[in-house]
Protein backbone atom coordinates (compact mmCIF):
# COMPACT_ATOMS: atom_id res chain seq x y z
CA UNK A 1 0.00 0.00 0.00
CA UNK A 2 1.33 3.42 -0.94
CA UNK A 3 1.62 6.33 1.46
CA UNK A 4 -0.85 8.39 -0.58
CA UNK A 5 -3.62 5.88 -0.44
CA UNK A 6 -2.96 5.38 3.31
CA UNK A 7 -3.21 9.12 3.96
CA UNK A 8 -6.34 9.34 1.84
CA UNK A 9 -8.03 6.62 3.85
CA UNK A 10 -6.98 8.16 7.16
CA UNK A 11 -8.25 11.58 6.14
CA UNK A 12 -11.51 10.24 4.75
CA UNK A 13 -12.53 8.43 8.02
CA UNK A 14 -15.52 10.06 9.70
CA UNK A 15 -15.49 10.98 13.41
CA UNK A 16 -17.80 8.82 15.59
CA UNK A 17 -21.14 10.46 16.26
CA UNK A 18 -22.19 10.61 19.95
CA UNK A 19 -25.55 9.00 20.52
CA UNK A 20 -27.75 10.90 22.91
CA UNK A 21 -30.15 8.69 24.83
CA UNK A 22 -33.61 9.78 25.86
CA UNK A 23 -32.47 9.84 29.49
CA UNK A 24 -29.56 12.22 28.92
CA UNK A 25 -31.75 14.37 26.69
CA UNK A 26 -34.32 14.63 29.47
CA UNK A 27 -31.54 15.62 31.92
CA UNK A 28 -30.37 18.38 29.58
CA UNK A 29 -33.86 19.78 29.08
CA UNK A 30 -34.67 19.65 32.81
CA UNK A 31 -31.32 20.68 34.29
CA UNK A 32 -33.04 22.56 37.12
CA UNK A 33 -34.27 19.24 38.51
CA UNK A 34 -30.77 17.71 38.66
CA UNK A 35 -28.71 20.25 40.54
CA UNK A 36 -25.39 19.14 42.06
CA UNK A 37 -25.45 19.05 45.85
CA UNK A 38 -21.88 18.48 47.08
CA UNK A 39 -21.65 16.91 50.54
CA UNK A 40 -19.65 18.31 53.43
CA UNK A 41 -18.08 15.57 55.55
CA UNK A 42 -16.87 17.92 58.28
CA UNK A 43 -17.71 17.68 61.98
CA UNK A 44 -21.45 17.81 62.53
CA UNK A 45 -22.19 17.49 58.80
CA UNK A 46 -23.08 14.55 56.55
CA UNK A 47 -22.17 10.99 57.51
CA UNK A 48 -19.37 9.29 55.63
CA UNK A 49 -20.75 6.52 53.36
CA UNK A 50 -20.18 3.02 54.71
CA UNK A 51 -19.60 4.14 58.30
CA UNK A 52 -21.16 2.10 61.11
CA UNK A 53 -23.81 4.35 62.67
CA UNK A 54 -24.14 2.29 65.86
CA UNK A 55 -22.49 5.04 67.91
CA UNK A 56 -25.03 7.60 66.69
CA UNK A 57 -28.08 5.58 67.75
CA UNK A 58 -30.00 6.70 70.82
CA UNK A 59 -30.21 3.38 72.60
CA UNK A 60 -33.05 2.52 75.02
CA UNK A 61 -32.50 3.44 78.65
CA UNK A 62 -32.11 -0.13 79.90
CA UNK A 63 -29.35 -0.81 77.35
CA UNK A 64 -27.50 2.39 78.34
CA UNK A 65 -27.74 1.46 82.03
CA UNK A 66 -26.48 -2.10 81.56
CA UNK A 67 -23.54 -0.89 79.44
CA UNK A 68 -22.62 1.80 81.98
CA UNK A 69 -22.88 -0.76 84.80
CA UNK A 70 -20.56 -3.15 82.94
CA UNK A 71 -17.94 -0.39 82.48
CA UNK A 72 -18.19 0.68 86.14
CA UNK A 73 -17.63 -2.93 87.24
CA UNK A 74 -14.44 -2.98 85.17
CA UNK A 75 -13.14 0.38 86.42
CA UNK A 76 -13.81 0.05 90.17
CA UNK A 77 -12.13 -2.32 92.62
CA UNK A 78 -14.70 -4.82 93.89
CA UNK A 79 -14.65 -5.68 97.62
CA UNK A 80 -14.19 -9.37 98.53
CA UNK A 81 -17.87 -10.04 99.24
CA UNK A 82 -18.84 -8.71 95.79
CA UNK A 83 -15.87 -10.21 93.96
CA UNK A 84 -16.83 -13.63 95.39
CA UNK A 85 -19.77 -13.74 92.95
CA UNK A 86 -17.40 -13.72 89.95
CA UNK A 87 -16.16 -17.16 91.06
CA UNK A 88 -18.87 -19.29 89.42
CA UNK A 89 -19.28 -23.00 88.87
CA UNK A 90 -17.50 -24.66 85.94
CA UNK A 91 -19.42 -25.92 82.93
CA UNK A 92 -19.06 -29.67 83.61
CA UNK A 93 -20.23 -29.40 87.24
CA UNK A 94 -22.95 -26.92 86.24
CA UNK A 95 -24.36 -29.40 83.71
CA UNK A 96 -24.46 -32.17 86.34
CA UNK A 97 -26.11 -29.83 88.85
CA UNK A 98 -28.86 -28.68 86.48
CA UNK A 99 -29.57 -32.28 85.44
CA UNK A 100 -30.14 -33.06 89.11
CA UNK A 101 -32.26 -29.94 89.68
CA UNK A 102 -34.45 -30.71 86.65
CA UNK A 103 -35.47 -34.02 88.29
CA UNK A 104 -36.84 -32.10 91.29
CA UNK A 105 -38.82 -29.37 89.55
CA UNK A 106 -41.81 -28.19 91.62
CA UNK A 107 -45.18 -29.39 90.41
CA UNK A 108 -47.48 -26.94 88.66
CA UNK A 109 -50.97 -26.10 89.97
CA UNK A 110 -52.79 -28.53 87.63
CA UNK A 111 -50.32 -31.32 88.56
CA UNK A 112 -50.80 -30.62 92.27
CA UNK A 113 -54.58 -30.66 91.84
CA UNK A 114 -54.48 -34.05 90.09
CA UNK A 115 -52.13 -35.50 92.74
CA UNK A 116 -54.29 -34.35 95.65
CA UNK A 117 -57.42 -35.67 93.93
CA UNK A 118 -55.79 -39.08 93.41
CA UNK A 119 -54.65 -39.17 97.05
CA UNK A 120 -58.14 -38.21 98.27
CA UNK A 121 -59.72 -40.97 96.18
CA UNK A 122 -57.28 -43.56 97.57
CA UNK A 123 -57.89 -42.36 101.14
CA UNK A 124 -61.65 -42.55 100.61
CA UNK A 125 -61.31 -46.09 99.26
CA UNK A 126 -59.06 -47.05 102.18
CA UNK A 127 -56.17 -48.06 99.93
CA UNK A 128 -53.61 -45.75 101.61
CA UNK A 129 -53.19 -43.93 104.90
CA UNK A 130 -52.30 -40.29 105.54
CA UNK A 131 -48.72 -41.23 106.50
CA UNK A 132 -48.13 -42.97 103.14
CA UNK A 133 -49.49 -40.03 101.11
CA UNK A 134 -46.45 -37.81 101.59
CA UNK A 135 -45.58 -34.64 99.71
CA UNK A 136 -43.12 -35.29 96.82
CA UNK A 137 -39.52 -34.05 97.06
CA UNK A 138 -38.76 -30.96 95.01
CA UNK A 139 -36.55 -27.85 94.90
CA UNK A 140 -37.36 -25.00 97.28
CA UNK A 141 -37.19 -21.38 96.07
CA UNK A 142 -37.85 -17.89 97.36
CA UNK A 143 -35.23 -15.89 99.27
CA UNK A 144 -37.09 -15.75 102.60
CA UNK A 145 -38.10 -19.41 102.43
CA UNK A 146 -34.57 -20.60 101.60
CA UNK A 147 -33.11 -18.40 104.37
CA UNK A 148 -35.41 -19.96 106.97
CA UNK A 149 -34.50 -23.46 105.71
CA UNK A 150 -30.77 -22.67 106.10
CA UNK A 151 -31.28 -21.25 109.62
CA UNK A 152 -33.31 -24.31 110.68
CA UNK A 153 -30.68 -26.67 109.23
CA UNK A 154 -33.08 -28.26 106.74
CA UNK A 155 -31.29 -27.11 103.56
CA UNK A 156 -28.75 -29.68 102.30
CA UNK A 157 -27.56 -27.67 99.27
CA UNK A 158 -27.98 -24.02 98.20
CA UNK A 159 -27.62 -22.67 94.64
CA UNK A 160 -27.17 -18.88 94.25
CA UNK A 161 -27.34 -16.85 91.00
CA UNK A 162 -24.36 -14.58 90.22
CA UNK A 163 -26.36 -11.80 88.51
CA UNK A 164 -28.99 -10.87 91.12
CA UNK A 165 -29.92 -7.20 90.87
CA UNK A 166 -29.42 -5.59 93.36
CA UNK A 167 -26.66 -7.90 94.60
CA UNK A 168 -27.27 -6.83 98.22
CA UNK A 169 -30.26 -9.23 98.30
CA UNK A 170 -27.95 -12.27 98.34
CA UNK A 171 -24.64 -10.68 99.37
CA UNK A 172 -24.84 -12.11 102.90
CA UNK A 173 -26.07 -15.57 101.88
CA UNK A 174 -22.63 -17.22 101.34
CA UNK A 175 -21.57 -16.12 104.86
CA UNK A 176 -24.76 -17.64 106.33
CA UNK A 177 -24.16 -20.91 104.47
CA UNK A 178 -20.58 -21.07 105.78
CA UNK A 179 -21.76 -20.33 109.33
CA UNK A 180 -24.36 -23.13 109.16
CA UNK A 181 -21.98 -25.47 107.24
CA UNK A 182 -24.40 -25.79 104.30
CA UNK A 183 -22.74 -26.53 100.92
CA UNK A 184 -23.47 -23.74 98.46
CA UNK A 185 -22.46 -22.80 94.92
CA UNK A 186 -22.72 -19.74 92.67
CA UNK A 187 -23.94 -20.37 89.12
CA UNK A 188 -24.37 -18.14 86.10
CA UNK A 189 -27.85 -16.98 85.27
CA UNK A 190 -30.83 -16.23 87.50
CA UNK A 191 -32.98 -17.02 84.44
CA UNK A 192 -31.63 -20.60 84.37
CA UNK A 193 -32.64 -21.03 88.01
CA UNK A 194 -36.03 -19.51 87.22
CA UNK A 195 -36.67 -22.12 84.52
CA UNK A 196 -36.27 -24.90 87.09
CA UNK A 197 -39.07 -23.50 89.30
CA UNK A 198 -41.41 -22.25 86.52
CA UNK A 199 -40.48 -18.58 87.08
CA UNK A 200 -38.83 -15.90 84.94
CA UNK A 201 -35.92 -15.58 87.38
CA UNK A 202 -34.89 -17.01 90.74
CA UNK A 203 -32.20 -15.61 93.04
CA UNK A 204 -31.61 -18.78 95.06
CA UNK A 205 -32.69 -22.44 95.18
CA UNK A 206 -32.32 -25.05 97.92
CA UNK A 207 -32.50 -28.84 98.07
CA UNK A 208 -33.70 -30.37 101.33
CA UNK A 209 -33.77 -34.05 100.36
CA UNK A 210 -33.16 -36.33 97.35
CA UNK A 211 -34.21 -39.82 96.32
CA UNK A 212 -31.94 -42.84 96.84
CA UNK A 213 -30.99 -43.13 93.16
CA UNK A 214 -29.63 -39.54 93.17
CA UNK A 215 -27.83 -39.70 96.52
CA UNK A 216 -24.39 -40.53 95.04
CA UNK A 217 -24.50 -37.60 92.59
CA UNK A 218 -25.78 -35.32 95.35
CA UNK A 219 -22.94 -36.27 97.72
CA UNK A 220 -20.35 -35.83 94.96
CA UNK A 221 -21.61 -32.31 94.17
CA UNK A 222 -21.70 -31.36 97.86
CA UNK A 223 -18.09 -32.46 98.28
CA UNK A 224 -17.02 -30.36 95.27
CA UNK A 225 -18.96 -27.30 96.53
CA UNK A 226 -17.40 -27.50 99.99
CA UNK A 227 -13.95 -27.52 98.43
CA UNK A 228 -14.57 -24.78 95.86
CA UNK A 229 -16.77 -22.37 97.86
CA UNK A 230 -17.20 -23.10 101.59
CA UNK A 231 -13.59 -23.95 102.44
CA UNK A 232 -11.91 -21.76 99.80
CA UNK A 233 -10.84 -18.79 101.94
CA UNK A 234 -9.02 -17.04 99.06
CA UNK A 235 -12.25 -16.86 97.08
CA UNK A 236 -14.16 -14.71 99.61
CA UNK A 237 -11.17 -12.67 100.87
CA UNK A 238 -9.71 -11.51 97.56
CA UNK A 239 -10.34 -8.02 96.18
CA UNK A 240 -11.39 -7.69 92.54
CA UNK A 241 -8.92 -6.10 90.14
CA UNK A 242 -9.94 -3.05 88.12
CA UNK A 243 -9.27 -2.63 84.41
CA UNK A 244 -8.20 0.75 83.00
CA UNK A 245 -9.84 2.28 79.94
CA UNK A 246 -8.18 3.04 76.60
CA UNK A 247 -7.25 6.65 77.45
CA UNK A 248 -5.88 5.83 80.91
CA UNK A 249 -3.87 2.92 79.49
CA UNK A 250 -2.40 5.21 76.82
CA UNK A 251 -1.36 7.75 79.51
CA UNK A 252 0.32 5.06 81.62
CA UNK A 253 2.18 3.71 78.58
CA UNK A 254 3.31 7.23 77.65
CA UNK A 255 4.70 7.85 81.16
CA UNK A 256 6.52 4.51 81.09
CA UNK A 257 8.09 5.35 77.72
CA UNK A 258 9.26 8.74 79.02
CA UNK A 259 10.76 7.11 82.13
CA UNK A 260 12.57 4.51 80.04
CA UNK A 261 13.99 7.28 77.81
CA UNK A 262 15.23 9.21 80.87
CA UNK A 263 16.85 6.08 82.29
CA UNK A 264 18.53 5.34 78.96
CA UNK A 265 19.83 8.95 78.78
CA UNK A 266 21.24 8.74 82.34
CA UNK A 267 22.95 5.43 81.61
CA UNK A 268 24.54 6.76 78.40
CA UNK A 269 26.18 9.71 80.27
Going through 44-106 in order, the beta strands assigned E by DSSP cover: none
Around Cβ 97, how many Cβ atoms within 10 Å?
Answer: 22
Output the domain CATH number for residue 182.
Answer: 3.30.1330.30
Q: One digit per residue, pLDDT tens: the chain, 269 residues?
A: 455 555 555 555 565 656 667 888 888 888 888 888 898 988 888 888 888 888 888 999 999 999 999 999 899 999 999 999 999 999 999 999 999 999 999 988 898 899 889 888 888 888 776 665 678 899 999 999 999 999 999 999 999 999 998 999 999 999 999 999 999 999 999 999 999 999 999 999 999 999 999 999 999 999 999 999 999 988 888 898 888 999 999 999 999 999 999 999 988 87
Residue 203 exposed, middle or buried by CB count within 10 Å (0-12, 13-18, 19+)? buried
Instruction: Answer whether residue 142 is part of any domain.
Output: yes
- Domain range for residue 215? 80-233
Instruction: Answer whether residue 239 is part of any domain.
Output: no
CA 222, CA 229: separation in Å to the nearest integer? 10
Contact by Cβ (8 Å): 203, 142? no
State the total domains in the chain. Answer: 1
Q: Is the peptide bond before 166 cis (omega within 30 degrees of 0)?
A: yes
pTM: 0.72
- The string over 242-253, giving b where at least 16 C-beta atoms fall within 10 Å of a residue's C-beta and e elsewhere, is eeeeeeeeeeee
Amino acid sequence: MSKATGAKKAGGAKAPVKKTSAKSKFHEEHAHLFQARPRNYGIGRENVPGRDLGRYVKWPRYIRIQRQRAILKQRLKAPPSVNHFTNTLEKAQSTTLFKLLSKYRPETRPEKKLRLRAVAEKLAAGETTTTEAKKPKFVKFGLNHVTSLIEKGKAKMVVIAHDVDPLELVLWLPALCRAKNVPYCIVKGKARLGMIVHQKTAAVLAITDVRKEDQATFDQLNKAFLEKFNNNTDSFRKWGRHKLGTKATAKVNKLEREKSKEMAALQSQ
